[in-house]
Structure 1
Amino acid sequence: MSIVIAFANQKGGVGKTTSTVSLAAALASRGVRTLVLDSDPQANATSALGVNRPADGGGLYAALVEEAPLLPSVVATETPNLAVVPTSPALAGAEVELVSVMAREFRMKRAVEALRERFDMILIDCPPSLGMLTVNALAAADEVVIPVQTEYFALEGLGHLAHTIELVKRNLNPRLTIRGVLLTMYDARTNLSREVEQEVRAHFPNTFATVIPRSVRLAEAPSHGAPIQQYDPISAGARAYEALADEFIASLGDRAPAGVVRPAVPATPEVERDDRAEVPVESVAANDPEGQF
């Protein structure tokens, strides 16, 4: 049975999508059957994995509004063991269309449950809001990862997010837990990054030990339709997410997927800085000739 993890923060620009895609690729390189579920109408995770956006009304939109199965929308990426459920801006309309639907908070949960046996990890990239799409993701998830940039106002809104998570846990999803806070855009040269790190760790003891550096390469990778591990595997950003994958798997203990392997290039938990500042959507059966999923 897979573990479903939502990456959530109502603030935009905190590295949420980058972290979802990059951790997914790092997990996949270790033999973990990984699925990225793009629940953000901006569809950035879809583009970052080199997959075209589906036609309006397809993908996650159809699963939420029409209760269509998700499996036909699963697309295998160029990274072995990594697939994605792509989305499009049409998903924004789902929030309006679900307003009068009974049990609307559980639409994503029902769709995801049918995929649990096929994947070890399902990572949900949430939109930068606390609307119905994010609530659906939290209701479907086992755990939440909260990316936080190490910049001014980093803690702004975290209290509201934590309160929302608690409400979802109390009323919709009793098993939901916060896996950890992930510090992103860290610049060891600045006092601000170090001060924000100290403040976040003081408020959230379960903050990941691994921090993600500010990186030009991480910013460039999505425009090439590839995770950082493909775009620049020796960059500081790639190594940071490899280290995060190791820390993440270790934290799972006996829940870690069987047969996890180490990548060829060893990761390092050191905080480093870079020294440098279309495929048609097909069903997984057609786009996965080797039967990975």
Structure 2
Amino acid sequence: MVGERNRIITVANQKGGVGKTTTAINLATALAAIGERVLIIDLDPQGNASTGLGIERRNRKLSSYDVMVGTHGIGETVVETAVPNLYIVPSTMDLLGVEMEISQQSDRVFRLRRALQAADAQAFSYILVDCPPSFNLLTMNAMAAAHSVLVPLQCEFFALEGLSQLLETVEQVRRTVNPSLDIQGIVLTMFDARNNLAQQVVSDVRTHLGEKVYHTLIPRNVRVSEAPSYGKPAILYDLKCAGSQAYLQLASEVIQRERQRKAKAAA
């Protein structure tokens, strides 16, 4: 885990379709819009975070694959995005083979951590790692390198079941490779206020996890869904839409909690 001057947050959920990458892109954009210097590391072979920030595949000469196999450092792979203060280490399909390439290496779980330690990671106040929607060596690397895990959780019937599996994974990582790994928070996504089930899920999750759940609810929003096809985060695509405003509110909440955490640690 890299030093405490910045915050390395792994965005993870072992269930697909919960708004994981959408949250990574738009939270990072919102943090950058507020004035934070932010890096996204796209560690998902699908590369949706890279595509959603307008990084075309033909322009991904170097990627997170090169970082993971150790041929290039993070500083060599960082790409500017259209958002001021927001940078990305893009992903390519080469990541699909990285597990086979490094699985026999003694440091296979710590590749990303060591790359961040070797880089000038302190140039960024927040580093967000977008994981694959599964628990594999890439996800393990992301959690081994992070201070905390941010969990997007869709407001649906099986939400708590999926969350319990992820919390077990976090506990496993704590026991084996990163004892200080924390839950950054739970972000409830795809919320529809007209849906009684969604309201019940929000109530249940908050009852079980209390202050770990962010107050901000990310609504179902057509404009947020459309934005990636234009290679833009929602905040650039339509600043005034409900989804963009929710992610700006979430970013403010993340920053406020971080200030409180630092103040408590310093006391």
Per the shorter chain, which TM-score range? over 0.9
Give the Cα separation in 2 of the matches to 1:172 and 1:201.
29
Residue 18 of structure 1 corresponds to 22
Over aligned residue pairs, what C-alpha RMSD do you find?
1.5
Aligned to 1:234, the other structure's residue is in SS state coil
Higher strand share: 2
Aligned to 1:220, the other structure's residue is in SS state helix
**Is 1:137 aligned with 2:158?**
no
Residues 41 and 88 in structure 2, CA contact (< 8 A), matched pair in contact too: yes
How far residue 115 of structure 1 moved from its aligned partner, in angstroms, is 3.5
Aligned to 1:11, the other structure's residue is in SS state coil
Give the Cα separation in 2 of the matches to 1:56 and 1:88.
7
**Is 1:215 aligned with 2:215?**
no
**Is 1:116 aligned with 2:121?**
yes
Residues 60 and 90 in structure 2, CA contact (< 8 A), matched pair in contact too: no
Aligned to 2:161, the other structure's residue is in SS state coil
Specify which of 147, 152, 159 is matched with residue 147 of structure 1: 152
Residue 133 of structure 2 corresponds to 128
Specify which of 231, 242, 246 is matched with residue 248 of structure 2: 242
Specify which of 190, 194, 200 is matched with residue 189 of structure 1: 194
Residue by residue, what CA displacement relative to the aligned partner does 1:27-86 show, whole Å, maximum 9, x if unpaired? 001110000110000000000000123678831111111352111110111110000000
Amino acid at match of 2:241: S
Residue by residue, what CA displacement relative to the aligned partner does 1:148-171 show, whole Å, maximum 9, x if unpaired? 000121122222211111111122
Aligned to 1:83, the other structure's residue is in SS state strand
Aligned to 1:210, the other structure's residue is in SS state strand
Give the Cα separation in 1 of the matches to 2:9 and 2:120.
14
Give the Cα separation in 1 of the matches to 2:17 and 2:204.
20
**Is 1:157 aligned with 2:162?**
yes
Cα distance 1:57–1:79, how it changes in 2: closer, same or farther (>3 A)?
Answer: closer
Give the Cα separation in 1 of the matches to 2:150 and 2:10.
6
Amino acid at match of 1:227: P
TM-score of the superposed pair, with normalisation by structure 1: 0.84
* Structure 1 alignment gaps of length 5 or more: 257-293
Give the Cα separation in 1 of the matches to 2:106 and 2:61.
20
Matches within 5 A, 1:168-183: 168-183=173-188
Give the Cα separation in 1 of the matches to 2:44 and 2:125.
22
**Is 1:204 aligned with 2:204?**
no
Give the Cα separation in 2 of the matches to 1:126 and 1:213.
22
Residue 62 of structure 2 corresponds to 58
Residues 8 and 126 in structure 2, CA contact (< 8 A), matched pair in contact too: yes
Larger displacement relative to structure 2 (92-101 or 229-238): 92-101
Specify which of 38, 43, 47 is matched with residue 39 of structure 1: 43
Cα distance 1:33–1:211, how it changes in 2: closer, same or farther (>3 A)?
Answer: same
Larger displacement relative to structure 2 (149-158 or 178-187): 149-158
Give the Cα separation in 1 of the matches to 2:258 and 2:158.
31
Number of aligned residue pairs: 256
Higher helix share: 2
Residues 37 and 123 in structure 1, CA contact (< 8 A), matched pair in contact too: yes
* Structure 2 alignment gaps of length 5 or more: 263-267
Residue by residue, what CA displacement relative to the aligned partner does 1:182-202 show, whole Å, maximum 9, x if unpaired? 100000001010011111112
Amino acid at match of 2:183: I
Residue by residue, what CA displacement relative to the aligned partner does 1:229-273 show, whole Å, maximum 9, x if unpaired? 1000000000000100111111011667xxxxxxxxxxxxxxxxx
Residue by residue, what CA displacement relative to the aligned partner does 1:194-242 show, whole Å, maximum 9, x if unpaired? 0111111122211100010001111000001111110000000000001
Residue 233 of structure 2 corresponds to 227
Cα distance 1:255–1:159, how it changes in 2: closer, same or farther (>3 A)?
Answer: closer
TM-score of the superposed pair, with normalisation by structure 2: 0.92
Give the Cα separation in 2 of the matches to 1:60 and 1:222.
20
Give the Cα separation in 1 of the matches to 2:114 and 2:261.
22
Aligned to 1:127, the other structure's residue is in SS state coil
